Structure 1
Amino acid sequence: MQTLIGRREALRLGGAAALSSLAMPAWASALGDSPRRAILHNLHTGDRFNAVYFENGRYVPQALAEAMRVLRDWRTGEEHMMEPGLFDALHAINTRLETNRPFQIISGYRSPKTNAMLHAKSKGVASQSQHTLGKAVDVRIEGLQLTHLHKAALDVSAGGVGYYPNSNFVHVDTGRVRRWSGS
């Protein structure tokens, strides 16, 4: 078991290191080279992340690896590489909202198995979800009106933004720019 854990950790850090060399999304270049922080709280696992994931003009591999662990599929425990631009989108949203409150994570990465199960239960879950690609997160911020979070996500224009007022979350992804409302 010790070897397997060591191997997983090595793969995760190696993948994060590879991501750190990727160019940031064009829209994120407006963020500049200033340090960027993500503040996350996974409501299902209780895991938290509050660290700088980008500094000195590059992504910080260890910080990305830890943030990705917090966004794992809580139903299966599976982890997946999350697109660094997703963290940039969350940072930009927090900056726009002028808050340092954590994003409460409803859903981050979804394994194909989890996504298929959810899709079978609800037409509101896309069969080819950005969640399965590590490009999406469903969030809310405690004490903040959901309409404000929704507007900030739309203003950032990082990708898709779904508004789910009845379920009390906003979907943010780094796919193509689009918008929709659900329940």
Structure 2
Amino acid sequence: MECVVVELNLNRRRFLQYSAGVAALMSMPRFALASTQSPKIINFNNLHTGEHLQTCYFDGKNFVNTELDKVNHICRDFRRNEIHPMDRRLLVQISEIQRLLATDAEVQIISGYRSPATNESLRAHGHKGVARKSLHMQGRAIDIRLSGIDIAKVHKAALQMKAGGVGYYPGSRFVHIDTGAVRSWHG
């Protein structure tokens, strides 16, 4: 067996840059690395506003900013008409759930971004499962169902990714996904 020694001439700055790049790649879920090879299309339906959006948010190489703006709009806090940027990783998670379930079913939005005022109002009116420091207020969470797909299957696929928080609300027929720590709960 032949051993090849490669000598790298790295200064401290370049070493830190390479290290940061490797750390970023290692922290990404496995599916995120594999899923960035082709364009990603999602069909959204906001159940509260009746709005529909078909978006190609990723063109195979880059996120498409004009499409992300459309996603931010359809995921807005409809009660206050406030728009906030949604975490791109949520879109990657949704696409991966669809891939795992071999479907391109419409993604029905129950709740996307929630302003702090809306979040507090929901808590005050006794909505169960509304966290005081909800990631919805940071655009890092979304509550969804997939049209025609058993919610238990959506839940199982979301758990399989191990990409963030997963809340299962079978009574209300939706799954919460977020980009926080990996954890799960039933509501």
TM-score by length of 2: 0.81
Partner of 1:163: 168
What is the rounded CA distance, in whole Å, between the counterparts of 2:66 and 2:37 in structure 1? 18
Partner of 2:180: 175
Partner of 2:91: 87
Matched residues, number: 160
1:38 aligned to 2:55? Answer: no
**1:111-160: CA deviation from partner (whole Å, max 9, x where unpaired):** 00000111222342100001000011101122211100100111122200
Partner of 2:149: 144
Farther off after superposition, 120-129 or 172-181: 120-129
Partner of 2:18: none
CA RMSD in angstroms, aligned pairs only: 1.5
How much has 1:33 moved relative to structure 2? 2.6
What is the rounded CA distance, in whole Å, between the counterparts of 2:62 and 2:96 in structure 1? 16
What is the rounded CA distance, in whole Å, between the counterparts of 1:42 and 1:123 in structure 2? 21
Instruction: Choose between structure 1 and 2: higher helix proportion.
Output: 1
**1:53-111: CA deviation from partner (whole Å, max 9, x where unpaired):** 11242100001100110100111110001111111100111111111111110000000
Gaps of 5+ in 1: 1-22
**1:16-56: CA deviation from partner (whole Å, max 9, x where unpaired):** xxxxxxx8971112213321112211000111121211124
Partner of 2:127: 122
Partner of 1:6: none
Structure number with bigger Rg: 2
Asked if the contact 2:45/2:52 (under 8 Å) is kept, the reply is: yes
TM-score by length of 1: 0.83
What is the rounded CA distance, in whole Å, between the counterparts of 2:152 and 2:60 in structure 1? 34
Partner of 1:26: 28
Partner of 1:53: 57
1:71 aligned to 2:75? Answer: yes
What is the rounded CA distance, in whole Å, between the counterparts of 1:132 and 1:82 in structure 2? 10
Amino acid at match of 2:162: S
Amino acid at match of 2:165: G
Asked if the contact 2:40/2:60 (under 8 Å) is kept, the reply is: no
Moved over 6 A (4+): none
